[in-house]
Each structure stands twice: as structure tokens, then as C-alpha cells.
């Protein structure tokens, strides 16, 4: 270890997609790269995301693709244009991984698996001379500078010296896989502006009755439409499916709306999500069925004959009083706009991803921290978020690519 490391040395901290991509860019350009990760193996969250089908990116037109990153679209525009969804497919092909476009427009490896791609990627990095150090948890820097890095290791504290450092430490979702947000106080102590980390692509808590928790937790609701008015008065609406849980609601439809729902909760303290349980029928059609004579049928049987599923009936009983449940028009209204009152997001440790992180105003155009020359950031530790469907991975790969190029330019003396 020296206090003046050679100019061509780089340390990349974080063995997820952003860190691996940054290491790839630097090593391809001849720099001496050491890659560190706190876990025993690399790419653990990447592998988890590949369970059930590795969604690499999306094939939709680039302007529409970029809109998925709002409101951070302007900040990510250059990096995603530089390493676009098409470039990701070409990159995978160069690793020997063929891809295809699914019916939803999502892009997958031909075998739908993450492990073969990761193995090929790590093999390429080693062939390019990247030295990989696992079980190295970053502790910050030794002294006031940024060229001597501190790590905890099972055999004791270790140090490493490098001319530049790329931090790709992830957010704080799924901390058991390595990303726990422990870097936040380390960077804040050095004057880096950071938005608090929050859950993204997450479920929400609902105060369900004990009956619903016991009987209906785990039940999916398919082909429904959700809508709500966000904190800015804008109507948000989306069709899809979600799942009832003991604590609330989760699933793809909820994840897609999680950012504005979270913001509404933060600003207003509460949020009401309205579910159209029968989007293919009009209010008048449903009301007419419910208005038919019940005769000797129980209310449950009457609802069943009107086409109301048992899980829908359970939700109606959560939302309506006993008296309201006897009123056909009131029940029909609830079926078309069932209110679900959200109390809070689920914990960040359960979320698919996290929002918040290093502010883009704290970075220059090459992803270098203004407060710490020679230190770059990439991936989910930056203040952006995106829905699932290939957008998260694309954002990580693209910012890793951009940080790698930015670091190489800086090492070569460019501004």
C-alpha cells in the first residue's frame, strides 16, 4: 500500500451489474482493476432477479423506454442513450448469450437464466485481468484522502490503494444479498448530498381484518384496474394483477404504482387506492344483476349468482358495513371502485429496489463526485428509480458503463 498509487490503478467496490460493467470498461482500456465485494460471491441480487426468467431490458421505442425513469429521465438520458437496450443485447451476444423479445416486449436470455450470463461475464473479466476480492466490506477511507480504502475481512481489517474508486454499492433492498445502505453515512460525512433511501417496487400495509388475513392472504386478484389521485392531483390508473397478503397488498400492479403511492403517503400521511374488480362490466350491468330478487338466497349466494367471486365478496365486507352490503347500488359502486386504504410502504428490506441515494447534483457528467475527486458512483446507489421489466437492470448497466468511461477519461487527464 502506498499513499501515491500508480495513475492507472482503479478500485471498483460492489460486485453487482453496475460494478461489473464499470470494471469491464476500465479493464478493456488497459487499466489495472481490483474489484471488491462484501459477500462470498458476486452478483447475488442479479441471480435472484433471474429466478423465473432473467429480464435484461425492454424492446419498446427509446423515448417511451426513457420515460420510465421519470422524474430522473433527464439525468439518465445520456448514459442510457450511450448503453441502450440494443447495446445490452449486443453485449450479451458478445458474451455468448443469445436473447429474444417476449410477448410483453421484455428481453430475456434464450435460456431465461441469469447464471450462465454471470459466469461468462466473470470469466471475461478475469481474462481482462480484473482481480476479484470477495468478503471485503467497505469501511470508507484511511485518513482524509480517498486513495487508501479500508475494508473489513474475516481475517482482519485490510487496506487497498488506488488512483480512482468507483462505488457501486447498491441501495438497501434485500440487505441479506449485500446491499444495506451502509455507505450512506460514509459519504454524507464527506459532504455528499444524499436523498434518504426508501422502498421502491414495494408492497403496502393495509389494516385488514383478522378474517381476511387468515382466509385470503396469498390470493391473487387478476385482470383488475387500480386508480388513485396522487399528491399532485393527477389521476393514476393501471390494469394488472396483485396479491393480498397478511400485511396488505403486493404484486406487479402495486409495484408499478409504488413510486406515486409512496410519494402520496409521504406528503399526505395516507393514500386510498381504488380497485375496479370487474373492469369488463359496466356499473349498470353489475347493478342490474345485483338488483334481481334474492328470494330465499343468502347474501353470499346472491352475490355469487351475480358473478361476484368469493375473494371479491371478502373485500366487499372489508369496505362496506352490514347495512351497505344489503344495498345493490352501493355494492355495485364498490365493485367498480373498491377503496383500499394504505397506511405505509412495506419495509425497504422487502422491496425489489430502493429509491433515493446520491443526488445527481453531487456528480459531474462523468459520474464523479464533486466533493471527492477521483471517486465515482454508479447503479442503484444513485437517486433514481424505475419499474421492473428490465428498466432497473438497464439503469444499473448504463450508469456503470458511464462511470467506467468517466473514470477512464479522468485517469487519462481529461476533464
> pLDDT of 263-288, one tens digit each?
999 999 989 999 999 999 999 999 99
Burial of 52 (0-12, 13-18, 19+ CB in 10 A): exposed
pLDDT band for position 415 (50/70/90)?
Answer: very low
Do 57 and 126 fall into the same domain? yes
Q: What pLDDT, on the 0 to 100 scale, is given for residue 3?
A: 59
- Which of the pair, 354 or 145, is modelled with greater confidence? 354
Beta strands 32-36; 9-13: pairing state:
parallel
Do 213 and 299 fall into the same domain? yes
Q: Which three cell numbers stand for residue 317?
A: 365486507
Do 195 and 214 fall into the same domain? no
Average pLDDT over residues 371-396: 96
Do 132 and 262 fall into the same domain? no
Looking at every residue in the chain, the average pLDDT score rounds to 95
Do 360 and 403 fall into the same domain? yes
In a domain, 3, yes or no: no
> pLDDT of 214-248, one tens digit each?
999 999 999 999 999 998 899 999 999 999 999 99
Residue 55 contacts residue 390 (beta carbons within 8 Å): yes
Do 241 and 141 fall into the same domain? no
The C-alpha cell 437496450 sits at 85
Do 195 and 210 fall into the same domain? no
Residue that finishes a domain, picked among 345, 370, 396: 345
Q: Which three cell numbers stand for residue 80?
A: 442510457
- Which of the pair, 5 or 332, is modelled with greater confidence? 332
Whether the per-residue pLDDT at 405 is higher than 80: the answer is: yes
> pLDDT of 307-320, one tens digit each?
999 999 999 999 99
- When divided into structural domains, the chain yields a total of 2
Cβ density class 372-399: b for 16+ within 10 Å, e for less: bebbbbbbbbbbbbbbbbbbbbbbbbbb
> pLDDT of 150-209, one tens digit each?
999 999 999 999 999 999 999 999 899 989 999 999 999 999 999 999 999 999 999 999
Sign (positive or negative) of CA dihedral 5, 415, 69, 28: negative
Q: How far is CA 24 from CA 31, 35, 161, 266, 336, in A?
A: 10, 10, 19, 39, 52
Cβ-proximal residues to 210 (8 Å cutoff; 6+ apart), any chain: none
> pLDDT of 100-140, one tens digit each?
999 999 999 999 999 999 999 999 999 999 999 999 999 99
d(CA 205, CA 214): 16
Q: What pLDDT, on the 0 to 100 scale, is given for residue 227?
A: 97
Short-list 5, 18, 11, 16, CA closest to 403: 18
d(CA 58, CA 88): 10
Cis omega (within 30 of 0) on the bond before 18? Answer: no
Do 396 and 324 fall into the same domain? no
Short-list 391, 375, 101, 75, CA closest to 255: 391
Do 60 and 179 fall into the same domain? yes
Cα Rg for the chain, rounded, in angstroms?
A: 25
* Spacing of C-alpha 20 from chain mean position: 18
> pLDDT of 25-45, one tens digit each?
999 999 999 999 999 999 999
In a domain, 351, yes or no: no
What is the maximum alpha-carbon separation in the chain?
Answer: 89
Residue 167 contacts residue 224 (beta carbons within 8 Å): no
Residue 385's CATH number: 3.50.50.60
Q: With H, G, I as helix, E, B as strand and everything else as coil, classify residue 109.
A: strand
Q: What pLDDT, on the 0 to 100 scale, is given for residue 194?
A: 98
Residue that finishes a domain, picked among 304, 326, 345: 345
Q: Which helix (H) or strand (E) holds 341?
A: strand 338-345
In a domain, 350, yes or no: no
Residue ranges of alpha helices (H) inside 95-160 are 115-127
Q: Which three cell numbers stand for residue 202?
A: 414495494
Owning domain of residue 318: 204-345
- Which of the pair, 375 or 6, is modelled with greater confidence? 375
- Which of the pair, 178 or 83, is modelled with greater confidence? 83
Residue 37 contacts residue 9 (beta carbons within 8 Å): no
Whether the per-residue pLDDT at 329 is higher than 60: the answer is: yes
> pLDDT of 45-72, one tens digit each?
999 887 777 899 999 999 999 999 999 9
Phi-psi region of 229 (alpha: psi -120 to 50; beta: other; left: phi over 0): beta
Q: Which helix (H) or strand (E) holds 358?
A: strand 353-358
Do 31 and 112 fall into the same domain? yes
Residue that finishes a domain, picked among 298, 319, 345: 345
Q: Which three cell numbers stand for residue 238?
A: 393501471
* pTM assigned to the model: 0.93
* Spacing of C-alpha 162 from chain mean position: 31
pLDDT band for position 1 (50/70/90)?
Answer: very low
Q: What pLDDT, on the 0 to 100 scale, is given for residue 53?
A: 79
Q: Which helix (H) or strand (E) holds 404?
A: helix 391-411
Do 70 and 112 fall into the same domain? yes
In a domain, 4, yes or no: no
Do 208 and 194 fall into the same domain? no
Amino acid at each position: 500500500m502506498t499513499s501515491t498509487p500508480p495513475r492507472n490503478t482503479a478500485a471498483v467496490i460492489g460486485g453487482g451489474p453496475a460494478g461489473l460493467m464499470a470494471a469491464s470498461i476500465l479493464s478493456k482500456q488497459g487499466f489495472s482493476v481490483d474489484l471488491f465485494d462484501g459477500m462470498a460471491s458476486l452478483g447475488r441480487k442479479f441471480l435472484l432477479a433471474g429466478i423465473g426468467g432473467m429480464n435484461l431490458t425492454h424492446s419498446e421505442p427509446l423515448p417511451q423506454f426513457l420515460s420510465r425513469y421519470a422524474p430522473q429521465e433527464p439525468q439518465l438520458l445520456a448514459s442510457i442513450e450511450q448503453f441502450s437496450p440494443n447495446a445490452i443485447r449486443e453485449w450479451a451476444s458478445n458474451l455468448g448469450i443469445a436473447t429474444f423479445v417476449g410477448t410483453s416486449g421484455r428481453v430475456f436470455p434464450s435460456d431465461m437464466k441469469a447464471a450462465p450470463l454471470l459466469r461468462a461475464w466473470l470469466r471475461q473479466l478475469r481474462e481482462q485481468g480484473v482481480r476479484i476480492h470477495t468478503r471485503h466490506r467497505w469501511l470508507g477511507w484511511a485518513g482524509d484522502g480517498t486513495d487508501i480504502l479500508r475494508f473489513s475481512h474475516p481475517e482482519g481489517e485490510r487496506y487497498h490503494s488506488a488512483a480512482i474508486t468507483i462505488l457501486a454499492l447498491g441501495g438497501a433492498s434485500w440487505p441479506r444479498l449485500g446491499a444495506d445502505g451502509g455507505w450512506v453515512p460514509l459519504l454524507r460525512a464527506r459532504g455528499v448530498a444524499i436523498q434518504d433511501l426508501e422502498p421502491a417496487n414495494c408492497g403496502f400495509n393495509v389494516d385488514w381484518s383478522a378474517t381476511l388475513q387468515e382466509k385470503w392472504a396469498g390470493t391473487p386478484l387478476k385482470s383488475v384496474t387500480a386508480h388513485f389521485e396522487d399528491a399532485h392531483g393527477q389521476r393514476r390508473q393501471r390494469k394488472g394483477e396483485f396479491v393480498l397478503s397478511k400485511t396488505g397488498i403486493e404484486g406487479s400492479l402495486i409495484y408499478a404504482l409504488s413510486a406515486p403511492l409512496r410519494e402520496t403517503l409521504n406528503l399526505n400521511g395516507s393514500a386510498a387506492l381504488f380497485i375496479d374488480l370487474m373492469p369488463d362490466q359496466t356499473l349498470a350491468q353489475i347493478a342490474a344483476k345485483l338488483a334481481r330478487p334474492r328470494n330465499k338466497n343468502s347474501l353470499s349466494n346472491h352475490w355469487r349468482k351475480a358473478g361476484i367471486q368469493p375473494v371479491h365478496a371478502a373485500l366487499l365486507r372489508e369496505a362496506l358495513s352490514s347495512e351497505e352490503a344489503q344495498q345493490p347500488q352501493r355494492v355495485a359502486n364498490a365493485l367498480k371502485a373498491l377503496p383500499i386504504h394504505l397506511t405505509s410502504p412495506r419495509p425497504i428490506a422487502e422491496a425489489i429496489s430502493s429509491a433515493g441515494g446520491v443526488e445527481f447534483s453531487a456528480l459531474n457528467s462523468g459520474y464523479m463526485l464533486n466533493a471527492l475527486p477521483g471517486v465515482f458512483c454508479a447503479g442503484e446507489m444513485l437517486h433514481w428509480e424505475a419499474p421492473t421489466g428490465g428498466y432497473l437492470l438497464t439503469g444499473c448497466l448504463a450508469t456503470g458503463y458511464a462511470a467506467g468511461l468517466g473514470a477512464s477519461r479522468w485517469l487519462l487527464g481529461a476533464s
